[in-house]
A and B are shown apart, each in its own frame.
Chain A
Amino acid sequence: MKVYFLLIISLFSTGLSQSSNLYYHKTPSDINTGESIEISQLLFTDLGIEQGILYFRNKGEMSYQEVEMRFVDGKWVGLIPGERVTPIGIEYLSVLTQFDGGRIALPSIDNPFDNPLIININVGAVSNKTKKTNNSIKSDSDILILAPENGSFQKSNELVISVSLFNSPEVDQNSFQIYIDDVDFTQETVIFGDVLSLVPNTDLGIGLHKIKILFKTTYGIPLSPLEWSFSTSKGLSSLSESFSYKGSLVRKKSSNTASKITVNEDQLNLRLEAEAGWIKGKYSLKTSSRNSKYAQPLDRRSLSLQITDYLRIERGDVYPSISPLILDGKRINGRYTKADLNYGFGFNGIDFFGRTFLDFKLKGNVELKTVSGNLVEGVQYKKGVNKAYQLLEDLIQYDNLGNRIYVFSRRGYTFPRKINAARLAFSFNNRVKGGFHFLKAKDDFEKVKTNVSFENLFSASESITGDSIINYYTIPQFIDSLVNQDTIRVKTKNWNNGTPKENLAFGFDLEGSLDNRKLLFQLGWNMSLTNSNTWAGTASKDSLDLMMDTIVDGKLLDIPIGEIGDFIESYSDVFTVHPLYMSPILPIDPIAAEESQIRAILNMPSSAYYVRAKASYSFNNVLIEYKQLGPEYRTFGNPYLTNNIREFTINDRLSTLGRRLMFVVGYRYRDNKLSDLIANPVASRTFSLNTTLVPGPGAPSIIVNMQSIGRTNGIDSLDRDQYGNYLGDSRENSQALNVMGSINIPGKFEKLTTTTSINVSSITYLDNLASQREASYFFSKSETQSISATFSTRFNIPLKTSSTFNKTMINTPYLDVNNIVSVQKNAWTSFSTSSQYSFLKNKLRSRIGIDFTSNGEKGPLATKLFGTKLGGDWDIIDKLTLTLNSSFRLIDNTGNKNDGKDNDLDGKIDELRENWSISNSGINITLGYRF
């Protein structure tokens, strides 16, 4: 019955609800700009999960950011930080890695990185994400910081804080909060005539200070905080006085059980920030008892130093961004430095008959970034059978005396991947920007030892042992079992658990702006070289002639092989050239070049480029972009790039009625026809329209999103054998229609405020070739309709509640035993409610919640889950908080009552309550101190 239950779960399809036979996941909805998004997966697998990574990016971006997922309340949970949540929308996916190396992807498809899930963000919540340009900060909603300048020095007794709302009519000037170093100064602040002005009555003291202002729009939606900093100083004699620090120390112990697998974890988090005038340091440490030498590290350490605004040095676990097509936010254990220098110079020119010639003035900045370290940490071997050594039973050798030599290969290893990357960027007069960058990453195979633990077992079949069963040995045990003069040999390279690789990627980008940056033109071009097996080393001169062409004439394309060999040897430190393993062998496709050299250059298989224009006029934000990533373009710094595509995008974000009504209209065409050799290109055409109406404070907000995706695979004829007999129909010409609607209704009553949110969604498919199909054709797309409602309350007393109802209907076509197309209909229903109540002047906060999930079936097919959670926070003393969270979920498989099986493995069949089992349970205790 459990299998059947999992099967039903697997019927969830794309859309608001996502599932496979291993997990259940619901895509978050009704998210406002600036809000953090929690992504959770409820697992049903019996396999242990070693690690979970959540990948996310803004819609249309090329690079994913990574966040580690945690196991909380029976679910794997990852958090997308609020500062990344913008009206553009979020694309995300997750990968859970099992202890045995297997992976579970969300969405559960072959290429989740190419087809991530999407969260639409309420564009009515105007983004206030701050942008920093040199020393000035300006928000997206055109709030202008007048004083003090970001990063400036001020005398503490002359401080004036002022912000202009002149260009921000959407900001509600009657609702704001201002904090300096987390102290509320709202009462001392005035807003008058579009100007916020504050002269603090108290001395802030010497050192760096942070200002944070919270605004709302006139229709009540909070903007992201506007934050910047400045320093107060009385001279270097006060340097010791200016020293300040803050931080936190958190210890967390947790025990979570799911599908009878328990994961215990002990975590320690330390965060320390210290600053003294012009220098600021941060140290963070995160350790986990689950950290293991057999896997990629879970522990994180980082130290960063910021020296004025010009130099930043980070060491430890760093997340540098060099370029989206090279390295963009991936974790590196090493060093990252960033130097940013402003410059300005000019020439007054030469006076000649009263006119001035050759005069000029240049201002701008030069930025240098460097990265070095390990992209991947080395692992010598793993726990388990055949995870350190594997006996190559088909490769038994014999010595001169006829004795056997058993050959072993190494397994379970991961090569440490060294990386070096740099970027030099420049800007002129804020109108022209550009930069050059490169990345080199190489697996250091010498760091993985040939001889490691002799404790690990390997398997030997009966052909080796002569026994009827597989035997397991350690290396010493196996040597002891050998007869005669038989010996063993462990291969020193060319192991069969992965080859060492090397990658070199380089490129440039340019940006030009006009009309005060309202019109932007951007261009970027990159190229890569990848070697898939550096064990082979650099190709020798003699081998080049044999490998590169069919004639052994000492020449390659009329160039003497000797010259080429000398050349590639001299650059062997830069890249290991070996025609058998490098990609591309030639940067330009010679066949394509014969027809058109320009086209051949544009379609170089290992190049990636984009051309982009952005315009911001009259409430319109228009983007036009063409990008192309060749099939052989790879960068180890951003391994999740989708290559082998060319894509054209045009979209417009239009706001009207004072940003109360917004439209995002878009069109995207994508295919993989980068070469004439692609006979059947896969193409998709996506039209999208997102509409958001936010009429005003207290009024309901409405969101309607529609997306139509047409997909073809280039095949226009039926599959037939040589005699013309019908074999099948591989043609695809489908149309997907995704519709999502959401209404959010705020309510305000005498003793409580409420928020009611209702979401509906539908995913339907149309086979455009339906009329031409054979009767036996199977169109396998699942259709989903979903409705959910959330009702939240906040009372005058310290009580908050939230209740959610969700119903998802899935129609999944399948072929029955007679190969007749049928449709499986399922309707999943879930309900959850939770509340929080505070005691002792908010020093003690308690939380309780229950949830229920049903597959909607009756009788033996019925499956129900009942969950409860309990928790709370207790501020023991000032800044010391104890947090407790616990959860428990039972599963009721009705069919287990009388299926004649021992489902709970207790030796009894169909006994009382055999239909009940624990789905998951967990308890987390956290003690945190802030200082």
Chain B
Amino acid sequence: MSAANANKIAVVTKVKGMVEIMPTGKKLFSKLKAGSILADGDKIRTGTSGFAAIIFIDDKSTLKLKGNSEAVITGQRTAASISKKINMDSGTIRATIKKQNSSFVIQTPTSVASVKGTDFWLLTDPDKGDQVIGLEGIVSLKNIDTGQDVDVVQGMSGISTPDGDVGVEETVASSIPTDPSESSEDGPSQFKIYLEGPNGTQKVMVIEYQ
């Protein structure tokens, strides 16, 4: 495998709205298209209503970046797997991670979240700190300044602040971000019935559902 090929680690499977990429070694952002193949060190940035879904090529672990997010996707390839590390400056990310033979880490300015097979949201803000919402499995959330860590499980949310505090609390359902890809992939959401009255006028009954 050539050197250029050797650092490919993921593929972009969905893009909505404004999503940009700064390829590793470059200094400018360009528009990111679905189907693009990501290399170690590529930086992804989403606009206010932007969304991107990324799948790692070794085990189908998935990252979903919501609006106003910025992350550097890094991964070290070995023969059997890819050690993944996401440097997340700000924004909201959902990680659905397959059981890892190697490490998977999301690092923010405030914390380090390390996982081995789980599904969670991570919301990071350089000023306010991080929130990890556990959907499945266990996430270890560690504050960089103090070294304190907590385990975040399903139904719980972990908090890590720039002040060095960490803690867990029960997840408030309304705080869980919506996943744009789920609402669009689950198929039809609108049902139309065409009606014709005795006088020949046509009407349409539209039933919307989730």
List residues of chain A with CB under 8 Å of any chain B CB. Answer: 144, 146-147, 152-155, 158, 160, 162, 164, 166-167, 190, 192-195, 197-199, 231, 233-238, 277, 346, 348, 361, 516
Contact = CB atoms under 8 A, between A and B. Distances in A.
Return the 10 tightest CB-CB contacts between A and B, nearest first.
A193-B8, A237-B192, A164-B57, A153-B187, A199-B35, A235-B188, A193-B5, A147-B13, A235-B190, A236-B188
A160 B15 CA distance: 10
B11 to A, nearest CB: 5
A154 B80 CA distance: 31
Nearest to A152: B185
B32 to A, nearest CB: 12
A146 B5 contact: no
Contact of A195 (B4, B34, B57): B57
B7 A516 contact: no
A415 to B, nearest CB: 49
Given A146-B60, A194-B8, A348-B155, A155 B184 contact: yes
B183 to A, nearest CB: 11
26 contacts: A144-B58, A147-B13, A153-B186, A153-B188, A158-B184, A160-B11, A162-B11, A162-B35, A162-B55, A164-B57, A164-B58, A167-B58, A193-B1, A193-B37, A194-B5, A195-B11, A195-B37, A199-B33, A199-B35, A236-B191, A236-B192, A237-B188, A237-B190, A238-B188, A348-B154, A516-B99
A25 to B, nearest CB: 47
Interface in B4-50: 4-9, 11-14, 16, 33-37, 39
Contact of A192 (B5, B58, B187): B5
A145 to B, nearest CB: 8
B199 interface: no
B178 interface: no
B174 interface: no
A279 to B, nearest CB: 13
Interface in B173-210: 184-192
Contact of B13 (A155, A160, A190, A236): A160
Q: Chain A's interface: helix, strand, loop or mixed, by majority?
A: mixed
Nearest to A158: B14
A192 B4 CA distance: 9
B191 A158 contact: no
B65 to A, nearest CB: 16
Nearest to A278: B187
Contacts of A146: 11, 13, 55, 57, 60
Nearest to A234: B188
B33 A166 contact: no
Contacts of B5: 192-194
A237 B207 CA distance: 10
B60 A144 contact: yes
A192 B1 CA distance: 10
Contacts of A277: 188
A160 B14 contact: yes
Given A193-B37, A348-B155, 11 more contacts: A146-B55, A153-B187, A160-B34, A160-B35, A192-B8, A199-B35, A231-B187, A233-B187, A235-B189, A237-B190, A516-B99
Interface string B135-158: 000000000000000000011000
A235 B191 contact: yes
Given A153-B187, A192-B5, A166 B58 contact: yes
A199 B188 CA distance: 22
A153 B184 CA distance: 9
A236 B189 CA distance: 8
B35 A166 contact: no
Interface size bucket, B side?
35 or more
Contacts of A198: 35
A639 B141 CA distance: 60
A163 B82 CA distance: 16
Contacts of A190: 37
Nearest to A516: B99
A147 B189 CA distance: 22
Given A236-B191, A348-B154, A197 B11 contact: yes
Contacts of B35: 160, 162, 197-199
Contacts of B58: 144, 164, 166-167
A162 to B, nearest CB: 5
Contacts of B184: 155, 158
Contacts of B36: 197
Contacts of A160: 11-14, 34-35
Contact of B57 (A194, A235, A516): A194
Nearest to A197: B35
A192 B55 contact: no
Contacts of B34: 158, 160, 199
A755 to B, nearest CB: 30
A361 B138 CA distance: 13
A166 B55 CA distance: 13
Nearest to B15: A158
A147 B55 contact: yes
Nearest to A146: B55
A435 to B, nearest CB: 26
A144 B82 CA distance: 14
A170 to B, nearest CB: 13
B186 to A, nearest CB: 7
Contacts of B8: 192-195
Nearest to B58: A166
A192 B37 contact: yes
Nearest to B34: A160
Nearest to B191: A236
A236 to B, nearest CB: 5
A359 to B, nearest CB: 9
Pick the most buried of A144, A195, A199, A235: most chain B CB atoms within 10 A of its CB. Answer: A195
A158 B155 CA distance: 32
A862 to B, nearest CB: 62
Contacts of B1: 193-194
A164 B34 CA distance: 16
Contacts of B82: 166
Contacts of B155: 348
Pick the most buried of A162, A193, A198: most chain B CB atoms within 10 A of its CB. Answer: A193
A193 B59 CA distance: 15
Contact of A233 (B33, B39, B59, B188): B188
A348 B192 CA distance: 41
B190 A193 contact: no
A528 B55 CA distance: 50
A144 to B, nearest CB: 6
Nearest to B155: A348
A346 B134 CA distance: 15
Interface in B66-98: 80, 82
Contacts of A154: 185
Nearest to A149: B185
Contacts of A147: 11, 13, 55
Nearest to A346: B154
A231 B185 CA distance: 10
A215 to B, nearest CB: 16
A194 B5 CA distance: 7
A238 B35 CA distance: 27
B85 to A, nearest CB: 17
A235 B39 CA distance: 36
Pick the most buried of B36, B60, B155: most chain A CB atoms within 10 A of its CB. Answer: B60
B57 A166 contact: yes
Contacts of A233: 187-188
Nearest to B9: A193
A195 B77 CA distance: 14
Nearest to B7: A193
Nearest to B186: A153
A162 B13 contact: yes
Nearest to B77: A166
Nearest to A238: B188
Contacts of B33: 199
A193 B154 CA distance: 35
A341 to B, nearest CB: 18
A234 B6 CA distance: 39
A197 B184 CA distance: 21
